[in-house]
Chain A
Amino acid sequence: GQQLNQSPQSMFIQEGEDVSMNCTSSSIFNTWLWYKQEPGEGPVLLIALYKAGELTSNGRLTAQFGITRKDSFLNISASIPSDVGIYFCAGQLTGNTPLVFGKGTRLSVIA
């Protein structure tokens, strides 16, 4: 099925560093969502974006909905060890259509 191009696939960073990851699509979406998943748990919603150009923050996390509606990025500032996990982007066309997921970015933070 359709998938988003999410990069990077994995990242190893030092504690305190900033992190950036992004997702691109060949088709437009009306909603972009960013989830974090830890081992053995379900994805937890971090940020939801509903308007092109929207920039939204949640603590140290900032995400933007691209103007073309075909991309989104997530930034994490001043990373800490508990940021470790897999970050998934997901796009949705309407409330009645399935989410399309990226393949995930695996983040490792070295203390």
Chain B
Amino acid sequence: DAMVIQNPRYQVTQFGKPVTLSCSQTLNHNVMYWYQQKSSQAPKLLFHYYDKDFNNEADTPDNFQSRRPNTSFCFLDIRSPGLGDAAMYLCATSRGTSTDTQYFGPGTRLTVL
């Protein structure tokens, strides 16, 4: 029973062509996160939503945007993908309490041609 679902699992886009990645969760968690993970590296947090409050990491490029229309869904929009944006994009969720655990989705592997 998947709890954090990411679609698509693999996405190919062209240089400069906008792309949207999708994440949904069945856990009713308050917090949703987007991470970028490049090969052989740890996940890097891009931003997160605590309910509707958006929190951007200071070093996240403007090229990356996010939307959370409701509790269950969160989207990652890459406005003009560059070759350096090819990576695995991971969505995660948590309740947002003081003792907490983040649960990750399976990821979307983005290829930029």
Contact = CB atoms under 8 A, between A and B. Distances in A.
Contact of B42 (A3, A94, A106): A3
Interface residues of A, number: 27
Contact of A103 (B42, B96, B99): B42
A43 B96 contact: no
Main secondary structure of the interface of A (DSSP, over half): loop
A96 to B, nearest CB: 6
A28 interface: no
A102 B42 contact: yes
B98 A95 contact: yes
A42 B104 contact: yes
A73 interface: no
B100 A95 contact: yes
A101 B104 contact: no
B105 interface: yes
Interface residues of B, number: 31
A76 interface: no
Interface in B24-56: 31, 33, 40-45, 48, 50
A105 B81 CA distance: 30
Contacts of A40: 107, 109
Interface of B is mostly: loop
A42 B90 contact: yes
B95 A98 contact: no
A64 B50 CA distance: 29
B13 to A, nearest CB: 18
A98 B59 CA distance: 14
Contacts of A48: 101
A98 B42 CA distance: 13
Given A31-B100, A101-B43, A42 B106 contact: yes
Interface of B: 4, 6, 31, 33, 40-45, 48, 50, 57, 59, 90, 92, 94-107, 109
10 contacts: A31-B99, A31-B101, A33-B101, A41-B107, A42-B104, A43-B43, A90-B102, A98-B48, A102-B42, A104-B41
Interface of A: 1, 3, 30-31, 33, 35, 40-45, 48, 50, 88, 90, 92, 94-96, 98-99, 101-104, 106
